[in-house]
Amino acid sequence: AQKVTQAQTEISVVEKEDVTLDCVYETRDTTYYLFWYKQPPSGELVFLIRRNSFDEQNEISGRYSWNFQKSTSSFNFTITASQVVDSAVYFCALSEAYTGNQFYFGTGTSLTVIP
């Protein structure tokens, strides 16, 4: 079973629009960690955020914000006032305490910001 589901395969938005990338996870563990990574066209994977299962506070970093809701097992990512440089594939990932440091990645959402 897929532990991390990113249902949106591709999204296109016009520059300055807001966009939300969805991430739904599945785990039986009470202690787990959630991550978002960005993969720009150049190919590297860039770490964006880490959140543990005991901290449901939303987080904002500049134009980026994350909404963690345990009730719906979701960890969504919103980009406000999108820019062309935000065009990338974004991956959500889960790590469970009982499986150690292994990351389960979603299939990614390809975001294209049109100028």
Partner 1 sequence: DAGVIQSPRHEVTEMGQEVTLRCKPISGHNSLFWYRQTMMRGLELLIYFNNNVPIDDSGMPEDRFSAKMPNASFSTLKIQPSEPRDSAVYFCASSFSSGQATPEAFFGQGTRLTVV
If one asks whether residue 102 binds partner 1 (CB under 8 A), the answer comes out as: yes
Provide DSSP, the chain.
--SEE----EEEEETT--EEE--EE--S-SSEEEEEEEE-TT---EEEEEEETT----EEETTEEEEEEGGGTEEEEEESS--GGG-EEEEEEEEEGGGTT--EE---EEEEEE-
If one asks whether residue 101 binds partner 1 (CB under 8 A), the answer comes out as: yes
Select the span of 8-16, 35-43, 69-77, 78-86 touching partner 1 (CB under 8 A).
35-43
Taking the complex as a whole, the smallest distance from the CB of residue 19 to partner 1 amounts, in Å, to 21
Residues 55-84 that bind partner 1 (CB under 8 A): none
Which one, 51 or 86, has the nearer CB to partner 1? 51
Taking the complex as a whole, the smallest distance from the CB of residue 34 to partner 1 amounts, in Å, to 10
